Structure 1
Amino acid sequence: MIESLLVANRGEIARRIIRTAKRLGIRAIAVYSEADADLPFVAEADEAVLIGPPNPALSYRNTEAILAAAKSTGAQAIHPGYGFLSENAEFARTVEASGLIWVGPDADAITAMGDKINARNLMAAAGVPVAPGTTDPAADLDAAVSAAAEIGYPVMVKAAAGGGGMGMGVAIDEAALRTEYDKVRAFAERMFGDGSVLIERYFPRVRHVEVQILGLADGRVVALGERECSVQRRNQKLVEESPSPAVSPELRSRLLAAAVRAGEAVDYRNAGTVECLFDPATEDFFFLEMNTRLQVEHPVTEYVYGIDLVEEQLRVASGLAPTFDPDALTPGGHAMEMRINAEDPKRFLPGPGVIRTWVEPAGEGVRVDSGYTEGNTVTPFYDSLLAKLIITGATRAEVLDRARDAVAAFQIEGPKNNVPFFAELLTNEEFRSGTYDTAIVSRMR
């Protein structure tokens, strides 16, 4: 097993990784920016290194500073968490070239799945269903218009190099496409340094379902069930649950088999997620993208399968067998995660500030993975995620009841936060019935 681990991230995911590392007797090393010096993850690490100013480009995305910290502390491995450098193939290659262990899939797999068009083509060749769309980038507006006419409106305009719901727009006709194409292309060039655009059929009433996969050290790929991720604002997830209330046993079998094929197509190792769109009316599903990292919502899978996914990541990276029997996976119970963000609960606009009050709920089936505590300052430099409220139980009905009580008990004063939104959601009949889709939040507003 790895003996020392540098966590190249911050906030709740850094605390989450550090917690497992310390339980396993692994020396945990944190890196932090000047803005994060007082956050809990810095104090909880065995060692912490200041790597730069608040600007993430000069700190958490600063590969030279992170590698220098690894060298100065004698770290054996680097865990990137999610976001920042977690899906940066060049960084993964550099880490390994430096003689360190990269806790994640290899750089070739990251590269293969990082471009949406390339990923679509790979998945189609592997027998994974994909939505009608372009097999090459739409080189210009005329090409986009021609492709959309062939695919049929409405269409989704996507940044080929994007991910996590960023760089996307919907066009219901040619006029809208002309606007969205220029907008998405400009965004993609600014954010990803790649203006390639994909045109894909848009399905207005669908669910977003994903499958957790784990590529084992022995070369096998296993699927650890599905997660329902359809509660979203601006294509960004707010709630995830497992199992999905919309997935039948027959559909689950097809979904998991397709996800395994997706992983096998790129010789996948470590944790990853195969994201799909699912049409409840037809029970058809389509490959959306593959996230080559640990997901924010991994705790719901941990409960249902009774494993620690960070531990499994570390075992794979160390060349060790998993803690579970891959041939005898036995899921059970239900889990739900709510992303507690520093944002207005109505318009979902960021609202940083000093946390004057922070009281986490507790009790049976309640877990809080937080990045902050009372007295900390939520700055505008990073993602608005404050904490993840994870609720577990024997049934979905039990989880919904526990979630309602936990949300009522969660007290945050200072920065704006979306706790009131979850109180509203948990009384929404569409959500409680389990029949919701990706447009539920817009219907609530």
Structure 2
Amino acid sequence: MFKSVLVANRGEIACRVFRTARRMGLRTIAVYSEADAQALHVREADDAVLIGPAAARESYLDAAKVLAAAKATGAEAIHPGYGFLSENADFAEAVMAAGIVWIGPQPSSIRAMGLKDAAKKLMIEAGVPVTPGYQGEDQSVETLTAEAARIGYPVLIKAVAGGGGKGMKKVDRAEDFADGLASAQREGQSSFGDPRVLIESYITRPRHIEVQVFGDSHGNVVHLHERDCSLQRRHQKVIEEAPAPGMDQATRDAVTAAAVRAAKAVNYQGAGTIEFIADASDGLKADRIWFMEMNTRLQVEHPVTESITGVDLVEWQLRVASGEPIPLAQADIPMKGWAMEARLYAEDPAHGFLPSIGRLDHFVMPDDIRVDTGVEQGGEVSQFYDPMIAKLIVHADSREAAAARLADACREVEVWPVRTNAGFLARCLDHPRFVEGDVDTGFIGAEEALLIAAKPSSLSIAAALAAVGIRADEAVFDYNNAAPPWNDGLFAFRMNASAKTGVTLYHDGERVQGELLGVHGGAARHSTFDLRTDDGTFQALGSPAFVFINGEQVAMAETGDGRVVVFEEGDVFEFLPRLTAAAGGSTSDGGLRAPMPGKIVAAPAKAGDVVTKGQPVVVLEAMKMEHALTAPFDGVVAEFNVAVGDQVVDGAVLAVVKAD
């Protein structure tokens, strides 16, 4: 066994690999960009090397810099994690040529499975069923358009070198094909340096089933059962579980056998995943499940497999890379209970799932489950990398118990001012269809309005009003010799006062009205009073550090700038004592503002164009995804202030639409 390992990655996967490596007594080495100088994975490693600027192509994707760091630190092995260089066969070859152990499959296996079109051809030869479609060399618009028509709409356009939902576009109508193709090609070029695509028949009730496989240098290949990753949004996985709901043993045997055949076809070594697409319109059946692609690396969702098998997959990777055989025979790999994983993203579901970036001033995770993360309170979520900030993983005896436990965990998440999808995840897990196992990749799209809906309850509103009262009460007695910004309208607060005092707050631009009734000073700087909202009356007790409403403690964050932030059921609600303009997107005057820093990648409209409400005007790329800013109403593009290729800052006015 080698004595040291460098992880050519960042964030939670780097921390995850370090955890096992330390347990095995290995020296750990991190690499980091300038943006990650203070990152958790850097501090957790025994050694760390700066490899370049924030942009991934100048740091984490620069194979020469990573290899130089390994040589400089005497690293005996390199673990690529997932993403970045993990499926780069040239990098794997360079590592091996330098006499460093590559913790991954052979370069030939990576190449064989790295391009979706070539992999499909190989699987056909190996007798593995594949999804009907087109994976030809001719990439002309004319040929691709004709093939889409032959396959029949809807179709799925996929970047041949893609992954993680990037470079993947569903097209429902022939007239939308050209736009979908152009977007898929741009994302393929931007994310993978390859604009080529393939086209597949879009299955109307698809389930995403995948099988964890493992091979070694002694010719052994095993599977560690299946996972279901059907809960997706825009082709990005949101919740994963193992095993797959509704799969009988005969179907499981057929799918796992096909996965092992696929791995053996490329002499696979190390951890890999064979991904299948299933037509679930009549349940899971072996003859309605097709090979989709292989990921020649460890998967984000590997913890659910670890949970049901009791296997540490990273330990297996390290041992197999050092020449050891797979630790267990197929018959000895257990499958116990049910596991689920939720991906906590830095994004705002209430505002179109826009990625959220910035400092994590408040970061609290549930403490009774497994949480894999690469950030901590005081850390930073950068615009340069994937918005996933943590994975919440649970294991239970049954699927119902696992779903309930994970939903509870999501409700315990507290993150501010970066927004997350925690409340959205909890609502997914609580949804009757999900609980019953009635899932497919269209579940979130079909139920999105209900899943996104998050309004502050009367409890949250009462807590916010109480916080305002507490701060105003405190300001009157000058506890901190500092006057909060809401003093002007609240100077009438007094201990032991009986007069009603109105308080007006705003949440997302909507007014919240309330009254404080009979404010009473409490002991030890605690304020106690009654308050009224539109939904009734409440009793409040609190201090600047906590608030109880009717005896129930409400989680809150201290912003220090006059806002009140309340956490409830995984959601976060911000209240302001004054009306503020919403940031980003379109404004009432027709201005299209950048919702975050990014790069202009397309300009579907130009100054002078007549546009209709909802029509794309400019496309921004940020955090590896495209975001189309659309016309807020029918009108004319009066101003167009950017060009393709421009880098823009948060809030910049990109274009202005005037009413016709």
Same fold by TM-score, threshold 0.5 exceeded?
yes
CA distance in 1 between counterparts of 2:64 and 2:150 reads 46
> 1:50-61 residue pairs with structure 2 within 5 A?
50-61=50-61
Native 8 Å contact 1:138 1:199 kept in 2: no
Aligned-partner SS, 1:66: helix
> 1:173-212 residue pairs with structure 2 within 5 A?
173-212=173-212
Candidates 420, 427, 431, aligned match of 1:428: 431
Q: Which residue of 1 aligns with 2:413?
A: 410
Native 8 Å contact 2:167 2:186 kept in 1: no
Q: Which residue of 2 aligns with 1:289?
A: 293
Q: List runs of 5+ in structure 1 lacking aligned partners.
A: none
Residues 110-135 of structure 1: per-residue CA shift (max 9 Å, x gap): 11111111000001111111111124
Native 8 Å contact 1:221 1:268 kept in 2: yes
Native 8 Å contact 2:166 2:191 kept in 1: no
Aligned residues: 443
CA apart distance, 1:226? 0.7
Q: Which residue of 1 aligns with 2:128?
A: 128
Task: Tell me if 1:99 matches 2:99.
Answer: yes
CA distance in 1 between counterparts of 2:193 and 2:83 reads 17
Q: Which residue of 2 aligns with 1:38?
A: 38
Change (3 A) 1:173 1:410: closer
Candidates 313, 319, 323, aligned match of 2:317: 313
CA distance in 2 between counterparts of 1:328 and 1:191 reads 40
Q: Which residue of 1 aligns with 2:607?
A: none
Change (3 A) 1:227 1:318: same
Task: Tell me if 1:251 matches 2:265.
Answer: no
Residues 192-250 of structure 1: per-residue CA shift (max 9 Å, x gap): 33232212111121111111000123111111111110111110001100001132211
Residues 93-120 of structure 1: per-residue CA shift (max 9 Å, x gap): 1111111111001111111111111000
CA distance in 1 between counterparts of 2:400 and 2:325 reads 35
Candidates 336, 355, 359, aligned match of 1:354: 359
Change (3 A) 1:93 1:419: same
| Greater RCO, CA 8 A, separation 6+ | 1
CA apart distance, 1:164? 2.3
More strand by share: 2
Q: Which amino acid aligns with 1:357?
A: H
Task: Tell me if 1:441 matches 2:451.
Answer: no
CA distance in 1 between counterparts of 2:173 and 2:406 reads 41
Q: Which residue of 2 aligns with 1:162?
A: 162
Aligned-partner SS, 2:367: coil
Change (3 A) 1:178 1:54: closer
> 1:248-287 residue pairs with structure 2 within 5 A?
248-282=248-282, 283=285, 284-287=288-291
Q: Which residue of 2 aligns with 1:368?
A: 371
Moved more, 82-91 or 424-433: 424-433
Moved more, 204-213 or 408-417: 408-417
What is the RMSD computed on CA atoms of the aligned residues?
1.4
CA distance in 1 between counterparts of 2:314 and 2:371 reads 16
> 1:371-410 residue pairs with structure 2 within 5 A?
371-410=374-413
Q: Which amino acid aligns with 1:176?
A: D
Moved more, 423-432 or 84-93: 423-432
Q: Which residue of 2 aligns with 1:300?
A: 304
CA apart distance, 1:400? 1.6
CA apart distance, 1:152? 2.4
Q: Which amino acid aligns with 1:272?
A: G
Change (3 A) 1:177 1:137: farther
Native 8 Å contact 1:116 1:289 kept in 2: yes
Change (3 A) 1:400 1:194: closer
Identity %: 48
CA apart distance, 1:399? 0.8
Q: Which amino acid aligns with 2:373?
A: S
Native 8 Å contact 2:135 2:199 kept in 1: no
Q: Which amino acid aligns with 1:123?
A: M
CA distance in 1 between counterparts of 2:61 and 2:139 reads 30
Native 8 Å contact 1:215 1:270 kept in 2: yes
CA distance in 1 between counterparts of 2:187 and 2:60 reads 22
Task: Tell me if 1:6 matches 2:6.
Answer: yes
Native 8 Å contact 1:222 1:260 kept in 2: yes
Native 8 Å contact 1:246 1:280 kept in 2: no
Native 8 Å contact 1:138 1:197 kept in 2: no
CA distance in 2 between counterparts of 1:68 and 1:146 reads 47
CA distance in 2 between counterparts of 1:12 and 1:130 reads 33
Q: Which residue of 1 aligns with 2:47?
A: 47
CA distance in 2 between counterparts of 1:178 and 1:43 reads 47
Moved over 3 A (4+): none
Native 8 Å contact 1:137 1:160 kept in 2: no
Native 8 Å contact 1:367 1:389 kept in 2: yes
Aligned-partner SS, 1:245: coil
Aligned-partner SS, 1:426: helix
Residues 349-377 of structure 1: per-residue CA shift (max 9 Å, x gap): 100111111222122xx100111111111
CA apart distance, 1:188? 2.6
Taking structure 1 as the reference length, what is the TM-score of the superposition? 0.96
Taking structure 2 as the reference length, what is the TM-score of the superposition? 0.66
Q: Which residue of 1 aligns with 2:348?
A: 344
CA distance in 2 between counterparts of 1:355 and 1:20 reads 26
CA distance in 2 between counterparts of 1:357 and 1:135 reads 47
Q: List runs of 5+ in structure 2 lacking aligned partners.
A: 449-660
Which one has the largest radius of gyration?
2
Q: Which amino acid aligns with 1:332?
A: K
Change (3 A) 1:42 1:187: closer
Task: Tell me if 1:15 matches 2:15.
Answer: yes
Residues 242-293 of structure 1: per-residue CA shift (max 9 Å, x gap): 0011322111111100100110110000000011111123521111110011
Moved more, 244-253 or 76-85: 244-253
